[in-house]
Structure 1
Amino acid sequence: MFKTLITALDVAAHIDDPNWIVVDCRHDLMNLSAGREGYAIGHLPNAVFGDMETELSGSKYGTDGAFRGRHPLPDKEALAALLRSWGVNDDSQVVAYDAHGGMYAARLWWMLRWLGHEAVAVLDGGMAAWQSLGKPLTTDVPARAPGRFTIRAPFVPTVTVAEVMENLDKGERIVIDARAQDRFRGENETIDPVGGHIPGARNRFFKDNLQADGRFKSPEELRQDFSKVIEDPAKAIMQCGSGVTACHNLLALEVAGMSGAALYPGSWSEWVGDAARPVAKGSD
């Protein structure tokens, strides 16, 4: 069972295994059709496509009309139905990949763990690692028999915006922001309507989890890096712009053997949806 990262060699050895489900998670925040277009041009054999906007996210507005962020979590039953349509069974090995250092694949990795599925891993190095082995791409779309997938107890915790707000006064947990340093400081914000960060948050850019070749750093390096900003993972809240790249930090923590941090799914985009919530700017 692969539970965090998997090499391209290991994926290649099982690419035709009917109970291995490979999911193409490519996406582009500035071009929302880029992932699906890339999949149509060429993808790993037998891979299905997971659309970040329409399938791996839920409604942007809650039943109370409140904005939940740009990529809120989908309904669990809806997500489980999607997994079944891909052929995922309770004992399936799921592999998520993208072409962005795991930026989007880590979101699917976290979401399966949220549904209690442990056998899920991110292709380390993504499509580049696959192609570096001389492995082929295909345009064929696989026909999958419906899987039998059961929602179980989650392996991962979440926090609500109310809990993050309450923590501003209590200060019992540390908030880690996965966005680039300039966006954290409130500079060059082009995605969300307000720049800055949650007061008291610390910055850990998700791309710092990677080596120059796009693969994750070693567990020892990641543990050393994260120990500088997190003393107790169980008291850490991970966020980003919309709850996507925060999952990259959560995957890196898992690789480092530092389990227990929670995801704030709405993240910065939900936070600034209410002008009453405070905003900080500058360095942490």
Structure 2
Amino acid sequence: MNTLLIQASDLHERLARPGCLVFDVRHDLGDLQAGRRAYETGHIPGALFLDCETQLSAPRSGHNGRHPLPDRADFASLMRAQGLSARAQVVVYDAGNGAMATRLWWMLRWLGHESAAVLDGGWAAWLAAGGAVETGTRNPSVSEAQAMQGLRLAAQPAMPVVDAAAVLANLAQPRFTVLDARTPERFAGQVEPLDPVAGHIPGALNRPFGQNLDEHGRFKSPDRLRAEFQDLLGERLKQGIVHQCGSGITACHNLFAMELAGLPGSSLYPGSWSEWCSRPGHPVATGA
């Protein structure tokens, strides 16, 4: 299996075969221990827990955003220690909306590991499908064979990123379009619950990541997503799209949805709004 999205019923069958690694990345920005507590209370059998704050992010400096990307080599070492081999199929899930799962999916692609999928509907979908539940904590178990077939770090990132300097330069000489995944209220600068400044990057367009999901909390069909992104972006798709959000997490949801829609090639601005608004002199726009 090498697909972007997997359904709970298909994951149940896949777990019966070897070579599948499942990661639980449930997380709550308002309660940083909630994800681990939820994991220990119940998780997909065999799943390993990864913490967004301490394992999937680098230390914060005050000017690099709320969830800066870790060093690629350090992240590769972490994943090898979790048992990730070059041939492993990875499935990632969160509480349900895919916001955290698509972040890890992107990070794995960033390393060069292609065989990674997101569980559509996450933990909620697994329970709804009658999936088995394991409690407690599970630690990685890395065999000698897995160690020998460990993940090889690609020389160049397989998923492109841009930094704050590139976004700033783009304001004067536009080469790409910035797509902001935050809610319309945060984009417009009406509210800002997490960062010290409200508003958005000048020239950015807004597509709240929740628009990628249907009324059941599952990803919309590729055809529907493609039509929606084409309606929003039009000719801008030919220039290139850079995704951002508050701290580089839900931006990956939009990026994932575009990949699902058959619109690959987008870049990520990892620092996103939390980095942008911390830099003195960076312009801020408000309104829709």
TM score, norm. by length of structure 2 = 0.94
- Alignment partner, residue 201 of structure 2: 198
Is 1:162–2:158 an aligned residue pair? no
Shift of 1:133: 1.3
Q: Distance between the aligned counterparts of 1:261 and 1:137, measured in 2?
A: 36
Q: Distance between the aligned counterparts of 1:224 and 1:71, measured in 2?
A: 31
Native 8 Å contact 1:16 1:46 kept in 2: no
Q: Distance between the aligned counterparts of 2:231 and 2:283, measured in 1?
A: 26
Gaps of 5+ in 2: none
Shift of 1:233: 6.0
Shift of 1:166: 0.2
Give 1:71-82 correspondences, 5 Å limit: 71-82=67-78
Give 1:147-226 correspondences, 5 Å limit: 147=146, 148-152=150-154, 153-226=156-229
**Counterpart amino acid of 1:58?**
A
For residue 228 of structure 1, give the secondary structure of its aligned residue in structure 2.
helix
User: Per-residue displacement from partner, 1:148-201 (whole Å, max 9, x unpaired)?
Assistant: 121124331100100000000011211000000000000121100000000000
Change (3 A) 1:18 1:83: farther
- Alignment partner, residue 259 of structure 1: 264
Is 1:124–2:120 an aligned residue pair? yes
Is 1:134–2:130 an aligned residue pair? yes
Larger CA deviation: 11-20 vs 112-121 = 11-20
Shift of 1:16: 4.3
- Alignment partner, residue 44 of structure 1: 44
Is 1:236–2:241 an aligned residue pair? yes
Larger CA deviation: 175-184 vs 79-88 = 79-88
For residue 179 of structure 2, give the secondary structure of its aligned residue in structure 1.
strand
Q: Distance between the aligned counterparts of 1:78 and 1:41, measured in 2?
A: 29
Native 8 Å contact 1:174 1:237 kept in 2: yes
TM score, norm. by length of structure 1 = 0.95
Q: Distance between the aligned counterparts of 2:33 and 2:138, measured in 1?
A: 20
**Counterpart amino acid of 2:224?**
E
Higher helix proportion: 2
Gaps of 5+ in 1: none
Native 8 Å contact 1:47 1:141 kept in 2: no
Determine what percentage of the aligned residue pairs are the same residue: 49
Shift of 1:142: 3.4
User: Per-residue displacement from partner, 1:50-77 (whole Å, max 9, x unpaired)?
Assistant: 100000111222xxxx611000101111
Native 8 Å contact 2:189 2:286 kept in 1: yes
- Alignment partner, residue 105 of structure 1: 101
Q: Distance between the aligned counterparts of 1:165 and 1:100, measured in 2?
A: 34
Shift of 1:140: 4.2
Shift of 1:78: 1.3
